[in-house]
Amino acid sequence: MKSSLLISRKIYHNIYDYLFPKGVYFQSVAFIFAEIFKANDSLEFQFNSWYPVEFCEYKCRCREYVELKDMMRQKIIKRAFDLDAAIIELHSHMCLKGAYFSTTDLQGFKEFVPHVWWRLNKKPYAAIVFSKSDFDAFVWVDDPQQYCQMTEIVVDGQQLCPTGLTLANLEKRHGYWTF
């Protein structure tokens, strides 16, 4: 299934600048709230709004790891519910290129995605991890236990493709796509 995030260049750059602030070398997290459009074999997340996580909303934040306070998760789910929107989780890894989800990220999805799925009445969920020059992305479309590669981010008509490194690494280690 083709899956896309449609977003303006201005917002994309604002989010990137938030995820990689000058002089800060810790991971950062933000969330996009998006309208969902499904047709035949495609899914579009159309940008509605976004939320940059504030310093006080992190439980732990360092170069290799980030964790949000429990109340933050509730706040994001509530906002998505009020907007009747899907959630796209965004976070940064401090590497220059070669973005992929870490083992810790994958464990977090196992816990968080089914909860969001249940709370938001089975809306698709997506997650994007950025390095300074590229990204990788997953989407959960019809089942909170089954993910697939997000196909693209479309920035004012320009197609940006994910690295696909997470799935490649999982397949190399396990011979199949699982976490």
Q: What is the mean pLDDT of residues 26-47?
A: 96
CATH, domain 2-174, list 1.10.3210.10, 3.20.20.70, 3.65.10.10, 3.40.140.10: 3.40.140.10
Domain boundaries, the chain: 2-174
Give per-residue pLDDT as tens, 76-121.
Answer: 999 999 999 999 999 999 887 899 999 889 999 999 999 999 999 9
Q: What is the mean pLDDT of residues 69-74?
A: 92
- pTM for the whole structure: 0.94
pLDDT: is 129 or 63 the higher one?
Answer: 129
DSSP assignment of 33-93 equals EEEEEEETTEEEEEEEEEEEPPGGGEEEE-SS-EEE-HHHHHHHHHHHHHHT-EEEEEEE-
Residue 67 confidence class, pLDDT cut points 50, 70, 90 = confident
What's the half-sphere exposure (Cβ side, CA atoms, 13 Å) at 137?
24
Give per-residue pLDDT as tens, 112-140.
Answer: 999 999 999 999 999 999 999 999 999 99
Is 177's pLDDT higher than 50? Answer: no
Q: Is 82 helix (H, G, I), strand (E, B) or coil?
A: helix
